[in-house]
Structure 1
Amino acid sequence: MKTRSHPHQARPNRREALLALLGTALLPACGGGTDVAGVSSGGTGSFTSGTITGLGSVIVNGIRYEYDDTVSVTIDGTPSNAAALQLGMVVRIQGSAITAPPTSGALATAKATRIAYGSEWKGPAANVNVGNGTFTLLGQTVRVLATTVFSPGKFDGNLGGQYVEVYGYVNVNDGSLQASRIEVESGAPDRYRLSGVISGWTETTFLLGSALINHTSASKPANLQNGQLVRVKLRTTQQGGAWVATEVEADNTSSELEDDDEAEIEGAITSFSSSAAFSVNGIAVDASRIKPPTGMGLGVRVEVKGSISGGTVIATEIDIKTDKDIEAQEYEFHGAISGLTANTFVVRGYTVRYNGTTRFEPSNTTLKNGQLVEVKAELQSNGELLATKVEVDH
């Protein structure tokens, strides 16, 4: 059987070390708290921002967030529900303190209290280049990776001319979007959508990448300016060569951050003063207490761990995520099997294929409908999920 090294499988060990550092290796500080290099360990909660890589609870950044009927779920500020959460969506989760994994290879856990999600771009797909892994949307480039989830179908030439909704991370260097999930719409939406960092600001227009946005009649916050991360709803026709905005929403993620909570955020660097001071998806990061990795800069995909203070993540660890790292990601499911056939089953609404390379635990497992399992799977180029491991829950 093929074996691969997956970054998220190493996270529990790193997290265990971090929790040990924050929980047992700290020196008492004045006032009864505990600090290392100014990072407090007194928090009782957590904040996580990243891509959903598992279901049956919600798995983000190697943390399994469980939830119950009291969880608050919103999409672009509008009430939603946990059933709407899907692989590849980018979410922000507030929850309880994180519990270290009980065994090697297991996931850290927490309980979610609030989950917020939303797509970045919406509109017609054009200029599809499967070989390069790109297409355009309103003239802006969407980059597709091997782990980009399509719903329905797969990435092929048939995408051209269809309307899509795209989740992912904007690269402010070139205005492109690295897609984590692409939903193909059944019809034309009533509004298009773009996001990015404002440039070329005037009293009537600004740029997102190369897209000219007319914001004259838009609902928007005061004091918008160059360098600000925004999401924009647009009319579906242009006026004078510009897309007409009906709403401009400035990023306000910092309002969700609670002092002393543990934080783990993944995404692209959206502003950069230095390797010690930058923002990820609009969230300020202070990395002055550690030695950041080389190669930091605008548009670089990173994962940052730390603690929150004054709306800023005080970093204790930073990892750069290359395309290769991201494409090595496995997806994970916890739930009951249904629709079992000789080579496929359904779990959490996703059809998963298994074959002779799939590892079963126990090895003599005979699958049955209704059986509770833990499944790890890789996304294939044909859009199918292939199970690398199926473990029966007891």
Structure 2
Amino acid sequence: MKLGIKGWIATLATGLVLAACGGGGGGDSGVGSGGTGVAPNGFSSGTVTGFGSVIIDGVRFDDSSASIEVERNPASPTAGTSSDIKLGMKVETELNPDDTIKHLTVAPEVIGRISSLSGTGFVVAGQTVVISTDPATPTVFEGATGLADLAIGDIVEVHGARDASGAIVATRVERKDPTTSATLVRVVGIVTALDSTAKTFKIGTLTVDYGAATVLPATATLTEGQRVAVWSNVAVSDAGVLTAKAVRIKNPSIADGAKVRLGGLVADLGTTNVTFKLAGVSVDAKTATFEKGTVADLANGRAVRVEGTWTAGKVVASKVKFVRDEGDAEVSLTGAITDFVSVSSFKVRGVPVDASTATLSGGTVDNLANGVLVKIEGAYDAGVVKATSLTFSTTPDGGKRTFPGKVNSYNATTGNFRLSGFDMIFHVTDTTVYTNANGSAASVDDLANGKRILVRGSFSAGVLVVSEVKFVPDAGMGVRLEGLLYALDATAKSFELNAVVVTWNDATVFENGSASDLANGVKAEVTGTVSSGKVVATKIEIKRSDLPTIAEVRGVITDFVSATDFKVAGQKVTTTDTTVFKDGLVGALANGRIVEVHGTLNAGLLTATMVQFED
């Protein structure tokens, strides 16, 4: 099905379809347990497999009016933004009658410090984590390209599903900032060895002391076999004991008749192969239809996706789909490019992409730059999406668009020209603004065939009316990229970021810290130039992650009405008279611009204290 330009713009933040990064399985569903009450209309629990709006286990949901929270502490979830939803994460959603998301909760399976490593995974907070080798259900990494990058002592956030042995099969592993996450521990799992006198129980090999914990719901009683979420701000002791500060019993609370979608690993399969548990929820598949298999293929640990109706405390399944081949892991991504370094290194909605071997249509490598709208198909591999095809969107629409390339067919009389690679007409007017790459003023007299430029403008009658022309040197513009750094080598003064090698030197300027503050897992924004395939940093800003009252969102502006009413990557944003603007003025806010916004979040609205233009 072809996607019209309205579809492209509606998914500017990105439309990623990674049809199988694994299920949310084995773990809790948490239906109605995250503070949203009973789900009266519909519920979905599973793994984020894409964006634009948000895709959960291959099903697209509109999240434009959703409230978002991150449940690390189950007693006090933190308000979040769309930037907090990442590929491979486990989420729980309450749906409106029209299947749009009313409320979304990010629910990691375990957070803690790695205590041991093996060839297949690691142990964290007494939980065994297994890295998936199934091409249909790859493990997504951030702050690392794979298991080999991790080390004992690293602090990680893991999303995934429990297999038949109780191990977590990871759908996402994110290395956390060691300076700000050292005493954050979260574990979700089944209560065993409960001792109500000593006030202890176990999850895996972890002993939980809940004597001083807040147990939720307040009227509930802990029992053997319950699924719970445990949180503490005290590190696990050397004896393997966690002093819990909060324990939430994950009891499903869904209204009869509500639509339910669950993704995960089959558990507790009945002898007749028609009943099992998925994401901690009982499933009755007696009348279900099966895709990519039959009822005989059901087995504990098998990845499936279920659709059905909530009836008397269980899901009566109408469909069970097996996740079993590489076709389930295909990636389709639509959105505006950010963090552009080269054809082999850029991002769409925070997902690193390598398009060096892709087939390009509608444009050429010279037409790639931040802000350019593309559609990508490929597969996730070793920390990046390896694109097999990349298609440029040049279809007219009502929003402001960005196009780079070399000028040809320029007619100074009419003001019309073309850019190499694009089959469309560009038109400059008396109001077009001209600048050089360094921000200095240029003029229409500098416009000539062969010049490399970047233009911004809006379509009118199929022609892109150019509001801004920026002249770009043949060597390319400087780059700006952001992410969790890894492979730090302080001696060589280098690290990796988004699968790109970054180096620094004595001339590099550091903000919010110094070179000694760099560590694997630290979030950084790098500004620099490309040399011999590496980024030589002129500035490294260390992003502090220890300020929970400060929200951050980064992406493309859409739904722009005014400076007090627009969205960034789907998040509603407003500015005030005290908002600080960097690398641009308030008047430069417009659909299609890429910005990073910091501010305070209240009732789903991000009030910006700082807006930085990224393009």
Return the letter of the residue paired with 2:141: F
Equivalent pair of 1:95/1:111 in contact (CA under 8 Å):
yes
Note the aligned Cα RMSD (angstroms): 3.0
Structure 1 residues 364 and 197: CA distance shift in structure 2, 3 A: same
- For residues 75-134 of structure 1, give each alpha carbon's deviation from its aligned partner in whole angstroms, at most 9, with x where no partner exists: 123321222111011112233567xxxxxxxxxxx53222111211111113323xx331
Show the counterpart of 1:231.
Answer: 229
Matched, 1:389 2:389: yes
Question: Aligned with 1:224: secondary structure?
Answer: coil
Equivalent pair of 1:333/1:348 in contact (CA under 8 Å):
no
Show the counterpart of 2:160.
Answer: 168
Structure 1 residues 241 and 84: CA distance shift in structure 2, 3 A: closer
Structure 1 residues 96 and 246: CA distance shift in structure 2, 3 A: closer
Structure 1 residues 52 and 210: CA distance shift in structure 2, 3 A: same
Equivalent pair of 2:111/2:185 in contact (CA under 8 Å):
yes
Return the offset for 1:167: 0.9
Return the offset for 1:290: 3.7
Return the letter of the residue paired with 2:132: L
Question: Aligned with 1:294: secondary structure?
Answer: helix
Distance 1:143 1:177 in 2: 6
| Pairing partner for 2:262 from 243, 265, 268 | 265
Return the letter of the residue paired with 2:259: E
Question: Aligned with 1:116: secondary structure?
Answer: strand
Structure 2 matches for 1:56-67, cutoff 5 A?
A: 56-67=52-63
Matched, 1:315 2:317: yes
- For residues 278-331 of structure 1, give each alpha carbon's deviation from its aligned partner in whole angstroms, at most 9, with x where no partner exists: 321122222232477235455443211222334422101223445xx4795134
Show the counterpart of 1:276.
Answer: 274
Show the counterpart of 1:53.
Answer: 49
Structure 2 matches for 1:323-342, cutoff 5 A?
A: 325=325, 329-338=329-338, 339=340, 341-342=342-343
Distance 1:379 1:343 in 2: 14
Show the counterpart of 1:189.
Answer: 182
Matched, 1:344 2:331: no
Structure 1 residues 123 and 329: CA distance shift in structure 2, 3 A: same
Equivalent pair of 2:264/2:303 in contact (CA under 8 Å):
yes
Distance 2:260 2:187 in 1: 27
Show the counterpart of 2:206.
Answer: 211
Show the counterpart of 2:104.
Answer: 115
Show the counterpart of 1:101.
Answer: none
| Pairing partner for 2:296 from 281, 294, 297 | 294
Q: Which stretch of structure 1 is more off in the superposition, 179-188 or 300-309?
A: 300-309
Return the offset for 1:73: 0.9
Return the letter of the residue paired with 1:124: R
Return the offset for 1:346: 2.3
Return the offset for 1:7: 9.4
Distance 1:298 1:208 in 2: 20
Show the counterpart of 1:154.
Answer: 145
Identity among equivalent positions (%) equals: 25
Q: TM-score normalised to the size of structure 1?
A: 0.75
Distance 1:210 1:7 in 2: 33
Equivalent pair of 1:145/1:327 in contact (CA under 8 Å):
no
Matched, 1:127 2:124: no
Return the letter of the residue paired with 1:168: G
Structure 1 residues 266 and 67: CA distance shift in structure 2, 3 A: same
Distance 2:299 2:208 in 1: 26
Q: TM-score normalised to the size of structure 2?
A: 0.50
Show the counterpart of 1:304.
Answer: 306
Runs (5+) with no aligned partner, structure 2: 1-16, 21-39, 72-76, 396-615
Question: Aligned with 1:288: secondary structure?
Answer: coil
Matched, 1:74 2:69: yes
Distance 1:340 1:154 in 2: 18
Equivalent pair of 1:175/1:208 in contact (CA under 8 Å):
no
Question: Aligned with 2:243: secondary structure?
Answer: strand
Return the offset for 1:197: 1.1
Distance 2:18 2:352 in 1: 24
Runs (5+) with no aligned partner, structure 1: 1-5, 10-43, 99-109
Distance 1:193 1:232 in 2: 6
Return the letter of the residue paired with 1:352: V
Return the letter of the residue paired with 2:354: R
Return the offset for 1:186: 1.3
Distance 1:270 1:352 in 2: 35
Larger Rg, first or second structure (1 or 2): 2
Matched, 1:91 2:91: yes
Structure 1 residues 8 and 389: CA distance shift in structure 2, 3 A: same
Distance 2:260 2:186 in 1: 28
Structure 1 residues 272 and 220: CA distance shift in structure 2, 3 A: farther
Structure 1 residues 96 and 372: CA distance shift in structure 2, 3 A: farther
Equivalent pair of 2:92/2:107 in contact (CA under 8 Å):
no
| Pairing partner for 2:129 from 133, 138, 142 | 142
Question: Aligned with 1:83: secondary structure?
Answer: helix
Distance 2:158 2:187 in 1: 10
Return the letter of the residue paired with 1:378: A
Distance 1:86 1:367 in 2: 27
- For residues 237-271 of structure 1, give each alpha carbon's deviation from its aligned partner in whole angstroms, at most 9, with x where no partner exists: 4286533222211113x22x344343221013454
Return the letter of the residue paired with 1:246: K
Equivalent pair of 1:293/1:319 in contact (CA under 8 Å):
no
Show the counterpart of 2:426.
Answer: none
